[in-house]
Structure 1
Amino acid sequence: MNATAQDGRTAAVWAVVDSDIGPLLLVATDDGLVAVGFHATEAVRDKTLDRLGSRLGAEPVHAPDSPLLAGPTAQLREYFAGERHDFDLPLDWSLVTGFNRQVLRELAAGVPYGAVVGYGDLARRVGSPGAAQAVGLAMGANPLPVVVPCHRVVESDGGIGGFGGGLETKRQLLALEGVLPQPLF
């Protein structure tokens, strides 16, 4: 089965990879990694792929050995092993527009491994000082979590904030990066 986009190119390829935070769905196009999905059970995976198919113009093709997924798979394994602090991957930003894209690009470029930023601080960085709630919405709409590290955005009062992958997943990622202590059990 070879799904093609309206322009004749392969729309996207996907695979599920194991990680310390559970199975991750990786989806890539010719332009780069386009989506990372948490808790990639069969039901979650199928729902995500259906939604992506409508947005990309064709349903993604299961291709775990695709060269488009080799880099993301290897770099995520290195990240979870504590060997990688920065992702160096081509990213396909086609699922993100406007303010959300601006915020996510600033997050990816300006909040390094082991650091956190407040929602309001991130809003100020993109020139919208009153837009902390909009930053929260941008984090919730992030199609590239972990790689574009929305887990590094926290509340200004020291609270952990929300997270699309669940608060336990956010805690695990922040602990991996040394921001929070490792769980006792």
Structure 2
Amino acid sequence: MQLWLDRLASPVGELRLVVDEQGALRALEFDDHDERLHRLLKRHYGRYELIPGAAPAAIRQALAAYFEDDASRLAALTVATGGTPFQRLVWQALREIPAGSTISYGELAKRIGRPGACRAVGLANGANPVAIVVPCHRVIGANGTLTGYGGGLPRKQWLVAHERRLNVPAVPA
């Protein structure tokens, strides 16, 4: 499988964008997590080749808008992931969590109709190859604490705080 690798600067470090020949986002990982990127790509696709190249403008623009002031632009991006049917179900449910909101693993398990599958939901969350766009950072512990994140807890904290700032209602003049 041939995939194209692009790089994009962001407030949380350089991002690695992996797209396929149709322009779908296959992976998004942080610059200091190349090992994780390759592990997830191998797990999901087996053999692959990463070729340097530009991601479609729509992906780059949506991510730039996200970091500036508009989290809604990410919803329009096409994401194509490998993974099991259960993982893809969890990842789709993640995309339905509104920016600025967080939910627990238990609540996410209930939303997909599998209330006893908290641990499996957590494992699927951790195997998400498309950070930020498939917002696994919006899932927190049952006690409200930020729990593990593939990009590191400081990034998770930044992303959650960023999205909450974006969703603060404007004060009337």
Letter in 2 for 1:80: F
Residues 50 and 123 of structure 1: CA distance in aligned 2, closer, same or farther (over 3 Å): closer
- After superposition, the Cα gap between the structure-2 partners of 1:86 and 1:74, relative to the gap in structure 1 and judged at 3 Å, is closer
> What are the Cα deviations for residues 57-113 of structure 1, in whole angstroms up to 9, with x where unaligned?
43121012xxx43221111111000133241111112x22221111111111x2011
Question: Which fold has the larger relative contact order, with Cα–Cα distance below 8 Å and residues 6 or more apart in sequence?
Answer: 2
Given the alignment of the two structures, is residue 37 of structure 1 paired with residue 26 of structure 2, yes or no? no
Preserved contact between residue 65 and residue 73 of structure 2 (Cα < 8 Å):
no
Match of 2:136 among 150, 159, 165: 150
2:108 maps to what in 1? 122
Does 1:103 find its partner at 2:90?
A: yes
Hey, what does 2:7 align to over in structure 1?
Answer: 16
Aligned equivalent of 1:61:
51
Count of matched residue pairs: 162
Greater fraction helix: 2
C-alpha root-mean-square deviation of aligned residues, in Å?
A: 2.1
- Pick from 67, 70, 77: which aligns with 1:80? 67
Tell me the amino acid that sits aligned with residue 152 of structure 1.
R
8 Å CA contact 1:142, 1:150 repeated in 2: yes
Ranges in structure 2 where 5+ consecutive residues have no aligned partner: 166-173
Residue aligning to 2:170 = none
Alpha-carbon separation, structure 2, partners of 1:46 and 1:118: 27
Cα separation, partners in 2 of 1:135 and 1:116, compared to 1, 3 Å: same
Q: What is the percentage of aligned positions where both structures have the same residue?
A: 35
Q: How far apart in 1 are the matches of 2:104 and 2:35?
A: 33
Cα distance change of structure 1 residues 104 and 159 upon mapping to structure 2, 3 Å threshold: same
TM-score, length-scaled by structure 2? 0.85
Q: CA deviation at 1:115?
A: 0.9
Per the normalisation by structure 1, the TM-score is 0.79
Structure 1: 5+ residue stretches without partners: 6-10, 180-185
Distance 1:175 1:145 in 2: 16
Contact 2:93/2:112 (8 A) holds in 1:
yes
Deviation for aligned residue 1:158: 1.1
